[in-house]
Structure 1
């Protein structure tokens, strides 16, 4: 989700296969294909409390060209009155269900029954047009909600419609920021779990990366690059 990488297809709907005009298959072949289609996994959004370290490092890396990073990870903190804090994360399993839209349409409304709510979302890339509309709609309907969206990369930021969508959620009251080292460390400590590996005896053990977050070499440089682009968009 980033500077125009064609491998990232966040906002494109899945293609529906068309039935061929002529069917040259035997009945057995046709039945086999029907069974295969029925066994495909459903479109869904995965929810949890902790992200595997390897997944976090790959999906949240703020590189300019994000080949293969075709899903969105969203880590959220919801704060309500009397010190109540709720945390979790969502990720896209397929392109038809985006983590941001699922969170703002299905998860967050469960916490809006009474009193003000403060929401912070750390997202691997900025929202597409549809997800931005869900965020703006949530803010318009719920005046006591404060939302801060902290993103690792900007999704297709050169597209005029995407730029307009980002300005739209900003004008609706969403605080939009790029992730910096401190944000990565916060997510690492609160939302990431060390990868489990097998030793020579086949026993599970934690990877040695269970300590503090170690930033990659160009993290701050890339963050500043995106920060300048975001300021340009919201100007």
Structure 2
């Protein structure tokens, strides 16, 4: 069976049911085959102010991380200082980590922080190398804490002012992934 063409979906707010499924920080992420990337971009003292939104990818080809730079930051200005924060459903794959590291090395005026709900295939040596390369390029990498899930819920989800009820093992899963990422980056 042939998959439909790849597409990047953009928006302002994520459906609450999709958020709860895609961002759940479980170790085995069966059925979670997309990356959701919620972003905040501060360009300093510009009239544009703060940019906010999300991307999701479907059917690999170009991932949400790569699409961010072409769709959300197409008019890069080397004279501005960019502070970018991503809340992602899973950490970047090897190819995306390498591309992001290249962007950060070439564009010294971009400060990127990535907060990941879970680590993508963290046991794989090439994934670990990609995360280390991102870190070495100046990217701040962190696993999402329970408070980060609530912030993302309030900022990026069509939640109708309903608070997020965190899943039972959210804190334990955070601690597990936090320890794994610390081991990878040491």
- TM-score by length of structure 2 reads 0.93
Question: Does the aligned pair in 2 maintain the 1:104–1:134 contact within 8 Å?
Answer: no
Residue 232 of structure 1 pairs with residue 183 of structure 2: yes
Closer/same/farther in 2, CA of residues 53 and 216 from structure 1, 3 Å limit: same
Q: 2:69 aligns with which of 93, 104, 114?
A: 104
Q: 1:50 aligns with which of 8, 13, 25?
A: 13
Q: How many residues align?
A: 184
In structure 2, runs of 5+ residues without a counterpart are: none
Which protein shows a greater Rg?
1
Shift of 1:137: 1.2
Shift of 1:113: 4.9
Q: Residues of 1 paired with 2:125 and 2:52: CA distance?
A: 33
Q: Alpha-carbon deviations, 1:4-40, whole Å to 9, x = none?
A: xxxxxxxxxxxxx9xxxxxxxxxxxxxxxxxxx8xx7
Could you say which residue in structure 2 is the equivalent of 1:91? 56
Shift of 1:114: 3.0
Could you say which residue in structure 2 is the equivalent of 1:153? 118
Q: Alpha-carbon deviations, 1:136-178, whole Å to 9, x = none?
A: 1110111111000000010111110110000000000000000
Residue 191 of structure 1 pairs with residue 156 of structure 2: yes
In structure 1, runs of 5+ residues without a counterpart are: 1-16, 18-36, 195-205
Shift of 1:98: 1.0
Q: CA RMSD in A?
A: 1.7
- TM-score by length of structure 1 reads 0.74
Could you say which residue in structure 2 is the equivalent of 1:62? 25
